[in-house]
Structure 1
């Protein structure tokens, strides 16, 4: 009679050989299909390892179920194989989801000028992939836990109180669920897409990633700004590529009144004709203000996207400044100061014809002033202090008499 363990070893070897044969057959079939199309090779790259692991696991499970000598351990072995098979199946399902979404994304290129539809498809596909992977992981964990009898009993009691549990879970995960629903709303409302150019919180950047909880912006100086999804559903923001990437930009110059706008307009046409940054949609030069001693000239140009527009504005500004310096130096902005000559000698008032009522300007006016102010006459010639005191007493007597 054949030894049970030897029979088990033979069964295991046979099952492994069958698994290898099936793997080789599938690989051959994929190679034959890959001669005409490119997607089978990509499928092999994603699903080779999880498929082989699942197939090998199933073959071993069959071998253990058929020929394992110690039947008392069979229930435990079946539970272990069930949990591992669930994990391998989830791994294969995730690989297939990644393959499908990458295949869908690959059909729409975003490195072309008109890529609005491609960016929308890419953003929605990435969100769907994250949702699908999250659902697969949750289902796999739940299925693995339900292999335990105690967990199944607890699950039944939880289902009985599902109303209370849902309320508690909703309150505990309110912010998480709000961000998740906000992320889905952003993607499927087409309000925000990957690679969109936006201005948020005064920062200019591109949308690098949209997840179920946050949005990552790649700023122009290589910084990363991370914002919750609820920000974009509750706060205003600028989306420069909502319908298209074409933009208008302004260049303003403050110049002297002696500038010639017509000559500047002619030179602007020459400057724009020499650069590939301009998309030929808009070229305007206007004098928008002429106050404060200067003339403000505004130049309006257009470009295919935000980055090109910034380079075009810098190019036009530099070209116009250099041209004004070279051809019209009188038009450079200056500050004018009016200088007037003033005499340093005091200006005497002309005598008025009518001195009635005045206290200066004539002998009668001086006499009138002395009678009102009782001025004390001072006699030059070196009189001593006694004489001056006598004069002061006389003046006092005169005031008393008056």
Structure 2
């Protein structure tokens, strides 16, 4: 009986031991890859080689290769796919080539690599899908060569009872020659003395000298292109083409500079990862900016040509359809600008691979960024939306005559964030669009620019109204700014004990012409009354009593 219980207890212990062993083995598979041996052909690992964490492995590799200790740096490569007899010779060469690739291909921020041995994903926000999980496989950088994308990986390995180490994966070692062909040193570096290849900060010494010279040469090329475009403008006959050529000199110069720089970086000279990253971002921004600016200048030139041909100088004397057309052209221009800017921004983001770099972090913080952008740009976004509202609803049009806050002015331009009003005395009133649409205003050109003008004269009660009415019609018909003569009117609109108020009405085609006509007719009426009937001027009647006369005589006697 006791023997039977002993076997049962032994079976239970064995079962738990197997389960524990399986659990430990499963846990170890999550932390590293097991290997029988690592780089046997390289011999003992030098003490200066650090491989316990991804950060230490890459930092150690870069420092060793910068000191030309390529044989020691080879211990950070997993050369398991290379025969042991060839690992020493080929390992040093592969370490040198990978060093050149990492230095020129992409700037690596070593501080961003995990500093933990298990490369645990640390994300306090908890947004990362693998937050809190250890890793045994890590991507260091992604590079493009021969039209394909290649990844440089670090992998964690453990041999028997030795401590786990991080090494460049065998798959990465296999593609080092392909990457070196793309990112290896250019032919010009063969002529640079070794003493100038010493590292100084993020760049080598020769790069600190070459980059300013490089920028000066490229700048000189841009100046030459700018001057050439200016000559082309002078050769072209006056018109749309010369106008367009005169506007694209600067963006064309920058685009040529960007293209030539790209060619030189690809075939003549290559800089380190920091310099390459800087130039790539700069070239992407310059190319997008130059192309967008040329496209906008082309649109502006075409719109100006169409405006000059169909509309000309716009004001409220033009037909409503012409002013509506010009307003629609301004709306089209703003839409094209918006689309072009968005396309340029997307191009730059794709070119610098911002989406791949930020990845999940960008998506996780998108809502927060949207809220912050909305708060920070509330005024600007509000004006832009109000601008599109004005352009689509058209409560005003380019050239409309309006009365805004006591100012008589013409609508001269409707832009993204403001409306430019031309006051009658040629002053310019700049009004934020959002403020403009929130205030009441009079649009004198909503249906027609025609307006009634009135002249008010205060005359004596004995003034002949009918006679003045005929004279007014005669004077008004002599004015070019007076139309619809059948609507010329004259009425007595007020009266006091000593005078009467006479108002004359005349119709004018637009406010400015109406103002001039009103002034001219008023002057003629006043001159007629002054020269022919001065008794019609209003006068005060003073009544003197007999008592006042007697008192005056008494004062004279004294």
TM-score for both structures, normalised by structure 2? 0.50
Distance across 2 between alignment mates of 1:224 and 1:92:
29
Q: Which residue of 2 aligns with 1:352?
A: none
CA distance in 2, matches of 1:207, 1:54: 37
Contact 2:254 2:287 in 1 (8 A): no
Match among 87, 91, 114 for residue 318 of structure 2: 114
Check 1:230–1:70 CA distance in 2 against 1; reply closer, same or farther (3 A cut): closer
Q: Which residue of structure 2 aligns with residue 91 of structure 1? A: 293
Structure 2 Cα separation of the partners of residues 238 and 274 of structure 1: 30
Query: Would the aligned equivalents of 2:462 and 2:536 in 1 still touch at CA under 8 Å?
Result: yes
Matched ranges for 1:370-389 at <5 A: none
C-alpha distance 332-86 of structure 1, shift in aligned 2 (>3 A): closer
SS state at 1:198 partner: strand
Counterpart for residue 103 of structure 1: 305
- Cα distance per residue 1:145-196 (max 9 Å; x no partner): 5544567433652333433433343333333222211111112222122332
Superposition pairs of residues 260-271 of structure 1, within 5 angstroms: 260-271=464-475
Distance 1:232 1:298, change over 3 A: same
Which residue of the other structure, out of 439, 443, 453, is the alignment partner of 1:235? 439
The number of equivalent residue pairs is 324
Contact 1:110 1:118 in 2 (8 A): no
Comparing 53-62 with 207-216, which one deviates more in the overlay? Answer: 53-62
Residue in 2 that maps onto 1:292: 497
Tell me the TM-score normalized by structure 1.
0.67
Q: Is the 8 A contact 1:46 1:99 kept in 2?
A: no
**d(CA) in 2 for partners of 1:227 and 1:70?**
52
- Mapped pair 1:140 → 2:344: yes
The alpha-carbon distance between structure 1 residues 156 and 194, as it changes in their structure 2 partners (threshold 3 A), is farther
Does residue 215 (structure 1) correspond to residue 419 (structure 2)? The answer is yes
Residues 109 and 118, structure 1, Cα contact 8 Å, conserved in 2: no
Query: What is the alpha-carbon distance in structure 2 between the residues aligned to residue 246 and residue 260 of structure 1?
Result: 30
Kindly report which structure 2 residues correspond to 1:150-299, keeping only aligned pairs within 5 A, or say none.
152-154=356-358, 156-281=360-485, 282-299=487-504
Alignment of 1:318 with 2:523, yes or no, is: yes
Question: What is the deviation of 1:251?
Answer: 0.5
Provide Cα deviations, 1:277-302, integer angstroms capped at 9, x if missing partner.
22234311111223332111110012
Q: Which runs of 5+ in 2 are unaligned?
A: 1-185, 190-220, 551-558
Q: Does 1:341 align with 2:541?
A: no
- Of the structure 1 ranges 98-107 and 335-344, higher mean CA displacement relative to structure 2 is found in 335-344
Secondary structure, aligned partner of 1:106: helix
Q: CA deviation at 1:81?
A: 4.3
Q: Which structure: larger Rg?
A: 1
Per the alignment, do residues 156 and 124 of structure 1 end up closer, same or farther by CA in structure 2, a change over 3 Å counting?
Answer: farther
Query: Is the CA contact (8 Å cut-off) linking 1:207 and 1:218 kept in structure 2?
Result: yes
Distance 1:136 1:155, change over 3 A: farther
Give me the whole-angstrom Cα distance separating, in 2, the residues matched to 1:70 and 1:233.
Answer: 56
The two structures, once aligned, show a CA RMSD in angstroms of 3.9
The change in CA–CA distance for 1:95 and 1:314 in structure 2 (over 3 A counts) is closer
The alignment partner of 2:371 has SS state of helix
Contact 2:327–2:391 at 8 Å: present in 1 too? Answer: yes
1:331 aligns with 2:536: yes
Provide Cα deviations, 1:332-358, integer angstroms capped at 9, x if missing partner: 11112333324999xxxxxxxxxxxxx
Q: In 2, Cα distance between the equivalents of 1:175 and 1:75?
A: 38
Change (3 A) 1:296 1:170: same
Contact map agreement 1:97 1:133 (CA 8 A) in 2: no
Q: Once structures 1 and 2 are overlaid, which stretch shifts more, 127-136 or 254-263?
A: 127-136
Q: Structure 2 vs 1, CA of residues 289 and 160 (structure 1 numbering), >3 Å: closer, same or farther? A: same
CA distance in 2, matches of 1:238, 1:119: 17
CA gap 1:42/1:115 in 2 versus in 1, 3 angstroms: farther
Task: Mark the CA change 1:319 to 1:168 in structure 2 (over 3 Å): closer, same or farther.
Answer: same
Query: Which piece of structure 1 moves more, 112-121 or 171-180?
Result: 112-121
* Structure 1 runs not aligned, ≥5 long: 7-15, 346-402
2:258 & 2:318 partners in 1: Cα distance? 48
The range that moved more, 222-231 or 196-205, is: 222-231
The residue matched to 1:184 in structure 2 has which SS?
A: helix
Shift, 1:50, TM fit: 4.1
Task: Describe the superposition over 1:8-41 as per-residue Cα deviations: whole angstroms up to 9, x where unpaired.
Answer: xxxxxxxx9xxx9xx99xx9xxx9xx99x96555
Asked whether the equivalents of residues 127 and 212 of structure 1 are also in contact (C-alpha less than 8 Å), the reply is no
Among 307, 330, 333, the alignment partner of 1:126 is 330
User: Could you tell me how far apart the structure 2 residues matched to 1:300 and 1:269 are?
Assistant: 10
CA–CA distance in structure 1, aligned partners of residues 453 and 322 of structure 2:
26
